[in-house]
Every structure is written in structure tokens, then in C-alpha cells.
Amino acid sequence: MHLSYLFVAGALLAGVAVFSWRDDTGGSAPPPEQPAANGHYVLVVEGDRDQLGVTHANHKTDPWAGVPKGFTSDWTLSIRDAAGTELAAVPLDLSKFDLDPLRKGQALRVQGCIVEDPRIAMLVSVPCFVQAASYAFTRGKTAVGTVDGAAVRQLAGGGR
């Protein structure tokens, strides 16, 4: 008697497995595989709220640490290949800078031990992709700078 219950339970599980299995070959293609990064760059990013650029780059062979868990920002550095496909999107933490449009080009504002600067100068760690053709800075949907991939490789010391 117990054996028949096991047989029925097994048949039910097999039926559920058959009906829950789907064949994705006729559907949409799987997402393209993310290209492997060749270490990472540490970029010196400078500018203001309306224009950002890369003024120096340093190549590191150790893997990129990634984006801190849960961190998001309207400010992003998008690494793209020659076809315009995004290889990586790195959110930028600009919370320490004075991004008020009325303060653009103004001097530092000092309040006690807090210094607010409308000029941006920061380090950004990004994955190093051999096929990177451009590094595009955005604020929401607004473009605030693009740097050629060859220029970044040159700043980092050559064709890495």
C-alpha cells in the first residue's frame, strides 16, 4: 500500500516537471554574454555639473570590485563598444559636490568643517574592456560628456 502512494506521488511530480518545463529555443534569444574585463581602470574624472571628462587613467590588473550593493545614482558612466552596446554602467556618487546650477563656476562654500565645491574632481573605478569605444557620462537622460576609449587607453599608458 505504501508503495502505491510513492508511485502516485512520483507520477504527479513527473507531470508537474513536464508541464513546468519550457522550451526557450523558439522564443527570444538569450541576452548576449557580458564580455570579460581585463582588470579595471581608476579614472580621474573632472568637470562640473554640465560637463565631465577623464583627465587621467591608471590600469590595474586585479578585477573590478563592482558597484556597491544597493547604490544607485542619476549620474552614470556608461562604457560602450563601437556598436553603441553598453558594456557596463557605473553609477557615480556626486553627493559631496555642490551641483546647484546657480553655483556653477562659483568659489568653494565653507560652512564649519564642510566644504562644498561646484567643481568636480573624483576617482572612479570602472571595468577595463578591450573593446570599449567610448565612456559616456550622463545625468538622468542628459549627456554631460563623452571620452573616446582610445583616449582612456592612452591616458592609462597605452593599448591595454
Grouped pLDDT means (10 residues each) for the chain, 160 residues: 52 50 50 74 96 96 93 96 96 92 88 89 96 96 96 83
Report the predicted TM-score, pTM, of the whole model to 2 decimal places.
0.74
**Which residues sit opposite 43 in a β-bridge?**
57, 124
Q: Is residue 119 part of a domain?
A: yes
Which residues span the domain enclosing 111? 36-155
Residue 11, domain member (yes or no): no
Domain assignment present for residue 9? The answer is no
Encode pLDDT of 80-102 as tens digits. Answer: 999 999 999 999 999 989 898 98
Whether residue 106 lies inside any domain: the answer is yes
156 neighbors 58 (Cβ within 8 angstroms):
yes
Structural domain contains residue 94 = yes
How many separate domains does the chain show? 1
Strand order in the sheet with 86-91: 86-91, 75-80, 134-139, 142-148
In this prediction, residue 130 carries a pLDDT of 92
Residue at 59 is within a domain: yes
| CATH code for position 134 | 2.60.40
pLDDT on residue 154: 95
* Spatial distance between the Cα atoms of 159 and 5, rounded to a whole number of angstroms: 67
Element counts in the chain: helices (H) and strands (E) = 2, 9
Q: Which residues on neighbouring strands pair with residue 57, listed in sequence order?
A: 43
| Assigned domain for 2 exists | no
- The grid coordinates listed for 128 are 577595463
Q: 18 in a domain, yes or no?
A: no
